[in-house]
Structures are given as C-alpha cells and as structure tokens.
Amino acid sequence: MPTMLTDVFRGHPIHLPHSHQPDFTSLPELPDSYTWTSKDDPLFTAPLSPQAAVENIPLIDLNHPDAANQIGHACRTWGAFQIANHGVPLELLQGIEFLTGSLFQLPVQRKLKAARSDTGFAGYGVARISSFFNKKMWSEGFTITGSPLNNFRKLWPKFHLNYCDIVEQYEEQMQKLASKLMWLSLKSLGVSEGDIKWATVSSDLNWAQSALQLNHYPVCPEPDRAMGLAPHTDSTLLTILYQNNTAGLQVFRDDLGWVTVPPVPGSLVVNVGDLFHILSNGLFKSVIHRARVNQIRSRLSVAFLWGPRSDTKISPVPKLVSPDESPLYRSVTWTEYLRTKATHFNKALSMIRNHREE
C-alpha cells in the first residue's frame, strides 16, 4: 500500500509551536522574534529588481495557439508564469477566496482545534519550513489533503459541508489544469505521453495526487523588516497559486534579484517545483519564491501543490538525457523527496544529484 501524503511525516516529527501564534491584529510593533535581517536569510536584502516593471514572469493566454512554446520558455527562464483563460470558473476562485478568508478570521482558539500535529500533514499551523529559520514568519497556514471533513467540522460545526464542496470542486478543476499544463510544457521539449509511462492519460487522473495550502498574511506594522513566507522552492511537479488582489509574491532570478508578481484579477500563477526540475533533467527551473507582507491590506493565497502518486519514481525523462552523460538526478518518489526536504530543506535537490565526472 503506497504511503499517502497524509502519512508522509509519520515517524518524521517536526515540532512547530502553533499555539504560540500571536494575535497579529493586536501587535502595534514588530516583536524581535519576527524581525528579519540578512543574518536570518542571506537573500533577505537581495535587491528588488528595478526592471520589474518591464521584466516580469510572463502572462500566458492558454487559448493562444503558441501557448505550449510560451509555457516551455517561461519554465526554462523563470520557472514561473501566470495564466489567463485557464477555464477555472471565476465563481470558484471567489468561492475558495471566501473560504480562506472565513477560515483565518475564526478566533485563534477555534483554529487551534484543527491544529496540525507534529507528525501530521493536514491542519492549521505555521509554515512547515519555519523550523529552518531563527525568526518567525508573519503568516498562518492551513493544509488540506484528501477530505477536509473532519477538520472543517471542528472549524465550522454548521457550515462545513458547503466548504467541503468548494474544496472538492476546486481540486477537481486544479487537477485537470495541472495535468494540461504539464503536458503543454513537456510538448515544448518534444516529450509526449508515450515517453512517460507513469502519467498515462486517464480521465480520473489517479496517477497524481495533491494538497491545498491556504495562506494568510495579516497586515503588518513593519513590513520592511518582516517576512511572510521565507524563500523556498516547492517540492511539487507544479504548483498553481491563486492570490487575492494584494501583491506580496516575489520570485528570484540570479540576474535580476527579487521580482514582484503583480496580482492579475482572474489569473493564476504557476510555479515549477523540484520534481518537474528533476523530470526535465534540469531544463526547467524550480523557482525560488517568497511572500512579503504590507501595512495596509491583508493578503490571502491558495497553493495547489501537485505531484505524482506516492509509489511513482520520478527520474529525468530519458529523451532529455544526452547519450554520453548520466541523468542529472537519481530517481526519487514524492514521499522520499518530501522527507529529504523536511530534513535538509534547500540542500534536498543537491542530495539526489548524480555527480558527473569531469
């Protein structure tokens, strides 16, 4: 029986004190434990790209006849892009935003009834990557995988069924979209369905699995010294992110520094994750990104984290490996990778890299 995402961290506890979460709204100034400097994160003071107005992640119209090549180019250069005409109904995007807003508005004692346990996967808490940093992040999160029924019943004793319904519909749409995006980007590399046995096209998409990460970044008294979500890459194949109408997401490019991804109403942000970087033999970049906060408006985001089934070994597509070289990475399942990441964080990719002889 393959490990489901819910079981990934069983036996790999991470102690994160969710119950110490402050009531963000009542803090007139930033506590020292939330004040970041470049000592806490080397990229904290990396420059904000002055060119961000001209150079930004592309906005791609999925109905454009050349969409596959545009996506492929964005995956190689940025590891991220935005999409319009993606087919996800606007009411559903509004529905998931409403759910997320309602959840984080609940009193902290109610949210803690659904707190993620040390070995658990789903529930309310601080970002999993918090354990790798000395300072705290100005955010709170809620992770969903499989049915949210038990947790939602604790949060909303009366209305949980309506909220479960929204999550189910949202996940269904996201699954279809993620698979479409994967095949479009692979097409740009000349890789087709026959080249990847584990991802056979079946309408139930049971070769994939996913999690939803709801994020809330409250208004912050000193945003320049705070961090919403520290820099990281996602461990996924692809992540599809919905952000409300408040900027905060930034992506990092070695040549440009931090670039803010402006919210475009109705569009979605797509990030290449570490597993897609591996599958593409390093051709697609898994993008380093972070979330900053602001003094005026709170921010919400919903990340659809998408990867293969737990028993699937991901390795570079043979077609993308030149015959006289070994693949850049050894094969790994999503479960193995999430556990490696939970222990070694941003060194996880280099730990599964095959070292080539010069």
- Closest residue by Cα to residue 249 from 263, 261, 241, 265: 261
Q: Which of 179, 188, 213, 335 binds ligand L37FFZMX (CB under 6 A)?
A: 213
Q: Is 354 helix (H, G, I), strand (E, B) or coil?
A: coil
Cα separation, 110 vs 156, in Å, equals 9
Please identify, using beta-carbon distances, which residue of 86 and 128 lies nearer to ligand L37FFZMX.
128
Question: Burial, 296: exposed, middle or buried (Cβ in 10 Å; 0-12, 13-18, 19+)?
Answer: exposed
Q: How many CB atoms lie within 10 A of CB 89?
A: 10
Shortest distance, position 323 Cβ to ligand AKG, whole Å: 37
Question: Does residue 97 touch Fe ion according to CB under 5 A?
Answer: no
User: Helix, strand, or coil here: 34?
Assistant: helix
229 or 317: CB nearest ligand AKG: 229
The interface region with ligand AKG, picked from 38-46, 52-60, 72-80, 241-249 by CB under 6 A, is: 241-249
Rounded CA separation 247/308 (Å): 30
Does position 305 interact with ligand L37FFZMX (CB under 6 A)? The reply is yes
- Encoded one letter per residue, x for contact with ligand AKG by CB under 6 A and - for no contact, window 67-106 reads ----------------------------------------
Q: Is 259 in the site for ligand AKG (CB under 6 A)?
A: no
DSSP bridge partners of 250: 260, 290
- Contact between 234 and ligand AKG by CB under 6 A: the answer reads yes
Q: In this complex, which beta carbon is closest to ligand L37FFZMX, that of residue 298 or of residue 301?
A: 301
Can you tell me whether residue 14 is helix, strand or coil? coil
Q: Which one, 67 or 241, has the nearer CB to ligand AKG?
A: 241
DSSP secondary structure string for all residues of 211-252: EEEEEEE---S-GGG--SEEEE--SSSEEEEEE-SS--EEEE
Binding span for ligand AKG by CB under 6 A among 12-20, 64-72, 192-200, 243-251: 243-251
CB of 126 to ligand L37FFZMX, least distance (A): 9
Collect all residues with Cβ–Cβ distance below 8 Å to 181 and sequence separation of at least 6.
Answer: 71, 83, 238, 240, 270
CB 101 within 8 A of CB 300: yes
User: What is d(CA 289, CA 291) in angstroms, rounded to the nearest whole number?
Assistant: 7
Comparison of 137 and 196: residue with beta carbon closer to Fe ion: 137
Question: Position of tokens 């659904």?
Answer: 114
What CA–CA distance (Å, rounded) separates 239 from 273?
Answer: 7
- Interaction of residue 234 with Fe ion, rule CB under 5 A: yes
Residue 301 contact partner, candidates Fe ion, ligand L37FFZMX, ligand AKG, none, CB within 5 to 8 A by sort of partner:
ligand AKG
CA distances from 146 to 151, 154, 184, 339 (A): 11, 16, 27, 19
Q: How far is the CB of 216 from ligand AKG (least distance, A)?
A: 9
Quick note: the x/- pattern for ligand AKG over 187-226, rule CB under 6 A, is --------------------------x-x-----------
Q: What residues are paired with 173 via a beta bridge?
A: none
Number of residues interacting with ligand L37FFZMX: please give it, by CB under 6 A: 15
Amino acid at 240: I
Residue list 67-126, contact with ligand L37FFZMX (CB under 6 A): 121
* Binds ligand L37FFZMX by CB under 6 A, chosen from 129, 199, 272, 287: 129
Active site residue 292: no
Which residues participate in catalysis according to the annotation?
299
What are the residues binding ligand AKG (CB under 6 A)? 213, 215, 229, 234, 241, 243, 248-249, 289, 291, 301, 303
Q: Which residues bind ligand L37FFZMX (CB under 6 A)?
A: 121, 127-129, 143, 211, 213, 232, 234-236, 303, 305, 338, 341
Query: What is the contact surface with Fe ion in residues (CB under 5 A)?
Result: 234
